[in-house]
Structure 1
Amino acid sequence: MRLRWNPFVPAIAALLSLVACAPAQPDLVRVGRAELQLPAGTWQPLGGDAEQFDVRPDDTAHDLPMQTRAVALRGRAKEPLAVLVVQTNASNHPRDTTLWTAACLPQKGVQVEDAARGSPVRIDCLRYKRSAGTDGYLASARPALAQWLTQQQAVPANPYSHVSYRYSTPEGGYVSVDVLADRRLLRPTVRNNEEFLRAGRPAQEWMEQLAQAARQSITMLDGRFVVPPFPQALPE
Structure 2
Amino acid sequence: MLAAALATTACAPLPPGEPHVGRARLQLSPGEWVPLAQEDTVFDVRPDDLAHDLPMRSRLLGLRDADGQLVASVWVQTNATSTPRDPVVLWQEACPPQSGVQVQDAAQGSPVRIDCLRYRRRADADGYLAASRPRLAVLAAEHHALPAQPYSHVSYRYSTAEGGFISVDVLADRRLLRAPRYNNLEFLRAAPPAQAWMEQLRTAAQASPALLDGLLALPPFPSQLVP
TM-score, length of structure 1 as denominator length: 0.85
Q: Does 1:37 align with 2:27?
A: yes
**Matched residue type, 1:137:** Y
Tell me, yes or no, if the aligned pair for 2:31 and 2:226 is still in contact at 8 Å. no
Q: Does 1:60 align with 2:44?
A: no
Per-residue CA distance 1:28-47 (angstroms, 9 max, x = gap): 11110000000111000112
Q: Where in structure 2 are the equivalents of 1:13-162 lying within 5 Å?
A: 27-56=17-46, 58-96=48-86, 97-162=88-153
Q: State the number of aligned residues.
A: 212
Per-residue CA distance 1:43-87 (angstroms, 9 max, x = gap): 001121011111137211110101001110012232111001000
Q: For 1:91 and 1:235, how far apart are their aligned partners in 2?
A: 33
Q: For 1:63 and 1:113, how far apart are their aligned partners in 2?
A: 26
Query: What residue in structure 1 maps to residue 186 of structure 2?
Result: 195
What's the CA shift for 1:144?
Answer: 2.3
**Matched residue type, 1:116:** A
The percent identity for this pair of structures is 60
Moved over 4 A (4+): 189-193
Q: For 1:123 and 1:193, how far apart are their aligned partners in 2?
A: 39
Q: For 2:180 and 2:151, how far apart are their aligned partners in 1?
A: 14
**Matched residue type, 1:121:** V
Q: For 1:83 and 1:124, how far apart are their aligned partners in 2?
A: 22
Q: For 2:18 and 2:183, how far apart are their aligned partners in 1?
A: 41
Query: What residue in structure 2 maps to residue 5 of structure 1?
Result: none
Per-residue CA distance 1:87-123 (angstroms, 9 max, x = gap): 0000111111101111000000100000000000000
What's the CA shift for 1:140?
Answer: 2.0
Q: For 1:217 and 1:47, how far apart are their aligned partners in 2?
A: 21
Q: CA RMSD in A?
A: 1.7
Tell me, yes or no, if the aligned pair for 1:83 and 1:155 is still in contact at 8 Å. yes
- State the secondary structure of the residue aligned to 2:161: coil
Q: For 1:175 and 1:219, how far apart are their aligned partners in 2?
A: 11
What are the ranges of 5 or more consecutive residues in structure 1 without an aligned counterpart?
Answer: 1-24
